[in-house]
Structure 1
């Protein structure tokens, strides 16, 4: 993972989002231990308190749970929680921004749908 210090997102949010992506891709599976705040701090060359804030975001959202003395582990429903969150927050914001820009450029609904379908076809060709 590479942190973007120029990003408007705080580093601890970037850490939480990176861990979410690792969980979605199943690089870290349910009931598996996630990196500790000290491991993250060493890997990313950051303060352990910053890493802890990222982990606490995930704990507050029930994506990870704490086992006293052992660390944090991926919850049973982690993927479902992350997917719902990203659909309801991130994706809706991106779509709203896309629609707003399309209106500014006078792109019709049909043209926009075609652009989306073309992008999906391109992505399938890349995989």
Structure 2
């Protein structure tokens, strides 16, 4: 079942346009903290580049860590609202990125246009 967590910082302007409120900073920090681990960042990359949703077993095969460790990292990505466990096929769970949440994080980091 997909996580109903709203995208981190869904209401806010890019950092270059306005200072963050304490609440917005806390919301954004959740997403960025989830991406602050190399395994989770790589997991998200694998999920985003998968055509039909990434299976846990396929994801685990790409790492030299245990399946339970991968599941833990996936749980943290889900809790941060960055991925959904979109579909269960038999005993396999397929993960998909939450594009809207990823776009919010990217948009918040958008640099101001340069003049000159």
Q: Per the shorter chain, which TM-score range?
A: 0.3 to 0.5
Q: Which has the higher helix share?
A: 1
Q: Which has the higher strand share?
A: 2
Compute the TM-score of the two structures, normalised by the length of structure 1: 0.43
Compute the TM-score of the two structures, normalised by the length of structure 2: 0.46
